[in-house]
Chain A
């Protein structure tokens, strides 16, 4: 009985992230538009975009290889699996022991690895510029993320995300300096990894300033749909991760009744709304930095992560 309900929770979780991900992006876009006093597209626009892309034919560059055609599915699958392992409304995920936080970071790394390769496959200079900048950003963001994982894992005594969330939801955590540093580091990494302002502009198509968009410039049709969907999922994943590690209030822990699931789903959606509002405000209030200022931004995230971890090594009190 327990196993069945766990599997149901896991499946529900996988479907939920899949269904909610485009909506989250739509909400952020809408809020950004309203903050700029524009009317903005409907929050359902990302779904329409995906459907439209799926219906279109693929225009493939003449010298695109099999890798170029496989990559959209590989990246989508890797991100989806990673997203399915992050607790959203309940912690008792059936398969959470199959991969911990470090593995989730590495899964996202796999997705990025293939996307960067696909950017170089056709052999245009835009693909190259996108890939080259993406790997530079990743080379700083990934260690920052891992250090934040170390810090959180040392506090919770585990790298298993469900265990971490359960521990964080319990009352024994309290306010900690190291936790605050880890949170800021994670938010900075999340901004960089999701190609948001100030690192990259998700709305730009000005060639020389874009990073992520330059990398996927040659994609079209259903391939582009998969990559866009992957990007939506990634945003959802990072927001869920921040929520479940740092704000796990009302998350359902193991052995709770069906009513608590309803409460925690509602709480989760509310938290998503707050997060997207904060993201929209932040993006409206800041400007994109030059590419070569990005290392300073991410270097700060790296140092925060390192400092948080060091504090944990030095004393248990922080």
Chain B
């Protein structure tokens, strides 16, 4: 809040993979901003492009067979089209990532401690013992018992939840301002999920970071984010404050997502509704609204003309739909 300019500013970002069968637009024309000390949720079904988006935002897309256009500025530094060397300067120290599956994101043949303090030694030039002390501190911070002993162990000795804590510690090691968390709890037991999410929340507040939380589970973002970006087939279909989107969503897809996730406000035994059909094939998107084939409100127009984002109010709530849901009456 001390800084008025946004931390992350994404404008018209497009990520297109070149495949043997033709180009696949995984992310098309996505724009959003993220302020300091804010948590942004990116939600959507699997295959909606949210993982690709979260990586492209920090320039972490694969090196080959991919075209990225648009702009993504972190602290004013453009990352789209930046060289690998330029991006490396930012990675780890300004933005860090927490990956989906802690079983695969830790190197199985490298000691835990080394995976955490590597960045301190290589990027910050800390001495061996200073880096070690800091790594043990970090392990303690993320709630790993007997950190001194864990420091010397291999990831194989830890459970999934503990491993994800190590991944978080490794991400925190460079003291980044922005943490990209890509479905950080999907690979974990339900009981562990809440622990990890609360830990992230707590750390965010303590270390005054901004977080982008990518998830398919709206229950995860409800209380932990201030704003939401809803994605479908590589595009943003609705964006706004978390409160607005839960209470006054206009896009049928957002509603479908909400109905698909359990909510405490619902009466007991409310049936969860699944969205009919499957996410579209990104290689062959329909001409109009990508959601139209699965949408109960779709009209002829929806199938031929793609709706652009339009403001719902003057408060940063936007949606892309020809037949938006009515605003619930009685809510101001």
A, B bound: no
